[in-house]
């Protein structure tokens, strides 16, 4: 029997899950589903086949990969039509920290900074 990995979801601890959920909804178009009355309260965010789970952090600050390790995004979402997506996010008020470009490793991508300081990349390997 073959084994397959079908999907990946990102888990983002955050100091304020309601504010972060509002950002992802209003700026990035994610649908919000709250699970706040459970043993481990969280909020799920959905857009197309992408899911993000927000959990309540014990700290008041998110420590992005670039601060902890010197470089790197905190999530990378594979997407086509990056230009339209970047335009949508920008028109909704997103902070684009790296506009759409082709990387030296042959990805076409852009990067935004979310409400918690995470850098989120949107792109795809070019053929």
Going from the first residue of the chain to its last (127 residues), give the mean pLDDT of each consecutive group of 10, the final group possibly shorter: 83 97 98 97 96 95 95 94 96 98 95 98 92
Question: What domains, with CATH codes, occur in the chain?
Answer: 10-124 (3.10.180.10)
Alpha-helical regions (H) of the chain? 17-26, 65-69, 82-91
Instruction: Please give the pLDDT value at position 1.
Output: 79
Instruction: Please give the pLDDT value at position 2.
Output: 82
What does the buried/exposed string (b/e) look like for 24-50 if buried means 16 or more CB atoms within 10 Å of the residue's CB? beebbebeeeeeeeeeeebbbbeeeeb
Instruction: Please give the pLDDT value at position 7.
Output: 80
Instruction: Please give the pLDDT value at position 8.
Output: 84
Instruction: Please give the pLDDT value at position 5.
Output: 78
């Amino acid at each position: 029997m073959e084994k397959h990995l079908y999907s990946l979801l990102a888990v983002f601890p955050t100091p304020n899950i309601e504010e972060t959920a509002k950002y992802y909804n209003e700026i990035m178009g994610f649908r919000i589903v709250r699970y706040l009355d459970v043993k481990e309260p969280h909020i799920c965010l959905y857009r197309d086949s992408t899911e993000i789970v927000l959990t309540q952090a014990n700290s008041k600050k998110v420590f992005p990969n670039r601060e902890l390790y010197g470089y790197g995004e905190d999530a990378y979402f594979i997407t086509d039509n990056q230009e339209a997506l970047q335009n949508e996010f920008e028109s909704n008020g997103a902070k684009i920290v790296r506009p759409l470009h082709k990387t030296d490793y042959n990805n076409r991508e852009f990067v935004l900074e979310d409400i918690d300081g995470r850098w989120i990349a949107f792109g795809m390997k070019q053929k």
